[in-house]
Structure 1
Amino acid sequence: MARPEAPQRFRRVQALLAARLAQQVLQVWRELMDPAKVDASWPAVRAALMPLVRQAREQSAALARSAYLDARRDAGVGDVGFTPKGPLPLLADRLEAALDVTGPVEFKKAIAAGKTPQQAIDTAAVRMVGSTQYLALEGGRQTMQRSIDADERATGWARVTDGDPCAWCAMLASRGPVYKSAKTAGDPRRGGNTYHDHCACQAWPAFTLDEPFIGIAEKLYDDWLRETRGHGGKHAVNAFRRWWESEGRSAYTAPARP
């Protein structure tokens, strides 16, 4: 029997990892970046950031591998004969490009828009934290998703979010358990394994065809049905988003920070 608290515990641990990375990124950015000499100071900043992101990505993947095996055991499947899949390699070109775009490029865009150097530093910092967290947490997310896809005993997955998701994540979480064999054609909430910068969501494996909803997902499902009644496709998505941003989000209580 799966432990009902395990998915949220896994999400919180990944959130702690992301928070630690954010602190490290901000420290490097503010200590080494010279707003008066952006191009000259940037190579040292980037060189310091790259190993931090790679290390966090490896840690995220390790946490996911351990959690996946725990989920298997809790479901009565066991952990013999299956090895969780690791994430895809993080190519240097991709990491460098992500840092460049959210670092000096974002800083220069902010200056061009009329912001002060300090404001530009802060603006770039927010973008950089989001991007680096995404690449780091991708390690665990890919580990979960690739393991689910490769595991013959896994039936699918559920999206686990906190109590204060954005409209997009709330919509995807409302799907509840998504089965590998399920047909999603015509369901505007397809793509449940997609994420964005500053996203707190994680995937959790399912091993039966009658998996319970996780966390707030069941209430979100009821909300989705109610708010999208009479709409389809992108019109349903827009109707849910309008409701979520105007009144829906306030109906959910965000949990304490991890």
Structure 2
Amino acid sequence: MAGQAQAAQTFRRTQALLAAQMARQILHVWRDLMDPAKVDASWPAVRAALMPIVQQARTHSAALAAAAYMDARRAAGVPDGGFDPAGPLQLAIARLESSLDVTGPVEFKKAIAAGRSPQQAMDAAAVRMVGSTQYLALEGARSVISKSVDSDDQATGWSRVTDADPCAWCAMLASRGPIYKSERTAGRDQNARFEGDGAFKYHDHCACQAWPAFTLDEPFIGIAEKLYDDWLRETRGTGGKRAVNAFRRWWEAEGRSAYATAGQSAG
């Protein structure tokens, strides 16, 4: 079990490194090719250079996830049995183009309209673009894990794996621990404590990953077990949105900094 938890953290770090490497490429293209004095004229060439970077990163992310999924399966003692991990969710060209348009020239023009200098507008757009493209790239791995768990009769569910400095939303979701596919398991009871549709959500600049589970006695991964204790303490006597808000207030006031400090000390 400890080996699986370690493998999950290694997988998350590998995906984070891939996202960071892609971000450097995105910023390089944006800063070198985009002309803030001629946004509309320069953008088509910039977008054409950005698209393959995102697509290649997404493909790499998915391939790493497929290999990691099979490694986790074997480590759990599950025979291969002819199972192949699912392919990633296909990224529609129109979706990628729209994401780049909105976080690139549209964001730049919004910043200019708000009174920012061209350099400030370039920086604001860069932040938005990195977050959006990292989301699209890491969706490769996330969709492979999710779809594989759903299609694998031997998989029982998954866990959310975070770094030591997640946002309040990600910390709350990670505190659920292992989420099981069957509604007859504790996973359903855990899910019911939280607001929102679906069991696994992401956002721009999110470092979280999912990790497959193959038993009904899976360990909490990383900081998840302590987060669960903190969730119970901070939300005692509340429920629904009040519980979510109580946890968020605590996380933003003191929880996040404590976890981040502990993570830096451990590193």
Q: Could you say which TM-score interval applies, normalised by the shorter chain?
A: over 0.9
In structure 2, the residue matched to 1:166 is: 167
> What stretches of structure 1 of length at least 5 have no aligned partner?
none
| Partner Cα distance (1:188, 1:2) in 2 | 27
Question: Contact 2:27 / 2:126 at 8 angstroms: preserved in 1?
Answer: yes
Runs of 4+ residues deviating >6 angstroms: none
Count of residue pairs brought into register by the alignment: 257
Paired residues for 1:1-258 under 5 Å: 3=3, 4-182=5-183, 183=188, 186-188=192-194, 191-252=198-259, 253-255=262-264
Question: Contact 2:195 / 2:241 at 8 angstroms: preserved in 1?
Answer: no
Question: Contact 2:162 / 2:208 at 8 angstroms: preserved in 1?
Answer: yes
| Partner Cα distance (1:156, 1:95) in 2 | 29
Higher helix share: 2
Q: Root-mean-square deviation (CA), in Å?
A: 1.5
> What stretches of structure 2 of length at least 5 have no aligned partner?
none
Q: 1:163 is matched by which residue type in structure 2?
A: A
After TM superposition, the score normalised by the length of structure 2 is 0.93
Identify if the C-alpha distance between structure 1 residues 189 and 173 changes in structure 2 by more than 3 Å, giving closer, same or farther: farther
| Partner Cα distance (2:182, 2:195) in 1 | 16
After TM superposition, the score normalised by the length of structure 1 is 0.96
Identity fraction in percent: 74
| Partner Cα distance (1:255, 1:5) in 2 | 18
Please say which of residues 98-107 and 178-187 is displaced more in the overlay: 178-187
The Cα offsets for residues 16-73 of structure 1, whole Å up to 9 and x where unpaired, read as 0000000000000000000000000000000000000000000000000000000000
Question: Contact 1:2 / 1:75 at 8 angstroms: preserved in 2?
Answer: no
